[in-house]
A = this chain, B = another copy of it.
Amino acid sequence: MKKLRIAVIGLGVVGTGFLTLLDEKKEVLEDKYDLTYDVVAVCDKMRGSIYNPDGLDVSLILKESPMADGLEGTRGLSSFDIIKKPEVDVVIEATPTNLKTGGVGLEHARRALSAGKHFISTNKAPPAIAYKELTDIAKNNNVYYGFEGTILSGTPAISLAIHGLPASEFKSIRGVLNGTTNFILERMENDGMDFDEALLLAQSKGYAEADPSSDIDGWDVCAKVVIMANNMLGSNMTPDDVEVRGLRNIGLSDVEAAKKKKMRIKMVGSLTRKDNGGIKACVVPELVDRSDPLYHVHGVTNALVFDTDTTDTVTVMGPGAGGRSAGYAMLYDLVEMHRHRKRLY
């Protein structure tokens, strides 16, 4: 099968995590999946861009900090220019999530899919804001739109729901979907820290951003809940349809009161089918007891619990963040895209 020509937009921890794994797994991709590739373009806001239809040396991209010595190709193209190139088959994109406007990530998604390119991204904004629009474009252009990394990072969550549980209906989906808030709650519970102390610690460990609002006010989980509603429950939801209550009103006394009842407070994103066929979507701090798999989700681990009509309750648990894990999610999507491509072309 023809070599895949890959463009990578965004070379932060996630983009380089992907490239590292792609390089590490070159042989197994070819031997096991008949997947061969060239990386023909990389583009990064800080490092600039380089494009060469004959392929770039991935080890040099990973080594050099400014996109400089040793790489031959056209420099200075914008991400939009690169997406347009006929020599690009698939765009791998890892830009920051901007839930308000969709940001440049939404524009990348629109342009790539409209140009008939497969598009794989860990950016939560495009599928949270414009799920139907983007999946419709992908369908009409017979290309793959992959966003496995938006839910539970490299832990195969969408894969499990869509591929592993076919023909199942989910009565509910509940999850601990944000490592930062889970870490903060655990520090309050185990170490008696108050909220601000625990947040500072999370920031010093690099879990929480300088502006932690996306995590602690629940917007990060909100985006994930919307993506799951649309992808796993066939809904057509936007962030406005989700009841979101962040963590700011949770004090140490709440955490300690829960502990006394042998329960825990967890920041839970949930989707529940209502009797009228609708879906209730929430992101709220919930009291959970020991019998709940979410009770046992520690640190920055994430988990999802599917209540199915076919095989009872299935839980999947694993990393919810990290460059290598998120990069792996994009490698998963690349293999999945390739499986689809073998069938389509």
B-binding residues in A (CB < 8 A): 21, 25, 28-29, 32-33, 153-156, 159-160, 163-168, 291, 293, 296, 298, 310-319, 322, 324-325, 328-329, 331-332, 335-336, 342-343
Contacts and interface: CB of A to CB of B under 8 A. Distances in A.
Nearest to A165: B156
A122 B291 CA distance: 29
Contacts of A159: 160, 163-164
B291 A331 contact: no
A310 B164 contact: no
Given A164-B163, A167-B335, A311 B25 contact: no
Nearest to A329: B311
23 contacts: A21-B167, A28-B167, A32-B167, A153-B311, A154-B311, A155-B311, A156-B314, A160-B164, A163-B163, A164-B164, A166-B331, A166-B332, A166-B335, A168-B328, A293-B317, A311-B319, A311-B328, A311-B329, A312-B325, A314-B317, A314-B319, A317-B317, A342-B343
A311 B325 contact: yes
Contacts of A322: 312
Contacts of A293: 296, 317
B315 A317 contact: yes
B325 A318 contact: no
Contacts of A160: 156, 159-160, 164, 316
Pairs of residues from A and B, 7 with the lowest C-beta to C-beta distance, nearest first: A156-B164, A154-B311, A314-B318, A159-B164, A315-B317, A296-B296, A166-B335
A28 B160 CA distance: 18
A318 B313 contact: yes
Copies in the complex: 2
Nearest to A169: B28
Contacts of A319: 311-314
Nearest to A299: B291
A331 B167 CA distance: 9
A72 to B, nearest CB: 29
Given A32-B167, A160-B316, A314-B316, 9 more contacts: A21-B310, A25-B310, A163-B163, A166-B331, A168-B328, A310-B324, A314-B318, A315-B315, A315-B318
A56 B325 CA distance: 48
Contacts of A163: 159, 163-164
A343 B335 CA distance: 16
A322 B314 CA distance: 14
B154 A25 contact: no
Nearest to A27: B167
A293 B296 CA distance: 8
B311 A318 contact: yes
A176 to B, nearest CB: 13
Contacts of A314: 155-156, 316-319
A35 B165 CA distance: 16
A318 to B, nearest CB: 4
A101 to B, nearest CB: 30
A315 B312 contact: no
Nearest to A22: B167
